[in-house]
Chains A and B, each alone.
Chain A
């Protein structure tokens, strides 16, 4: 079967770094996406990995290890506007999302 797990909630301080982990099991694998979703809004695309290693995009980076079924999203220099839910998702014909990690930023 297919499954994705990520922590339900995390808290971090403004200006700090936070790592949000995602583990998955899937019979086929075509890549993993990360999305950001603010409360009451639609998800927006952040990052994408199909090969092992780190992809960096400004303050956001995402890492993938296919052999371990593991990914993480790294957010640096946290800002209050980063308070949101972060969703990881398989990229396959049928798209499976994790339940999301709600990130709280403290001043």
Chain B
């Protein structure tokens, strides 16, 4: 089954304790992306990657890191989490053609609470 898998689904942690949210896709997609979704602000792109070893900042990259060492995986790293990073996070992937990105396939989301 084609899917984007992110883990964990829920996490409560404390300020300053490094954490990683994993994301894996089995569709051989070139493009992967992380979003955060907050009430009244909608989905905002954190980082994206157009292929292995290629990553770029989205609209809200501060406080986050990513890596793309393999095509299928795109982990999101919070080196020193703060309460303002409490949010619902989505990973997504899509293929790319000569016209650009195809529709995004989303993971089920990770609800992150930083105390």
Residues of A at under 8 Å CB distance from B? Answer: 30-31, 33, 35, 41-45, 48, 50, 87, 89, 91-100
Contacts and interface: CB of A to CB of B under 8 A. Distances in A.
A31 B100 contact: yes
B58 A94 contact: yes
A41 B99 CA distance: 29
Contacts, number: 61
Given A42-B109, A43-B106, A95-B48, 7 more contacts: A43-B104, A93-B48, A93-B56, A94-B45, A94-B56, A96-B59, A99-B40
Give 6 closest A-B pairs by Cβ, nearest first: A99-B42, A42-B106, A45-B103, A30-B100, A97-B43, A91-B101
Give the interface size bracket for B toward A.
20 to 34
B59 A94 contact: yes
Q: Say whether chain B's binding surface is mostly helix, strand, loop, or mixed.
A: strand
Given A31-B100, A95-B45, A42 B40 contact: no
Given A93-B50, A94-B58, A100 B42 contact: yes
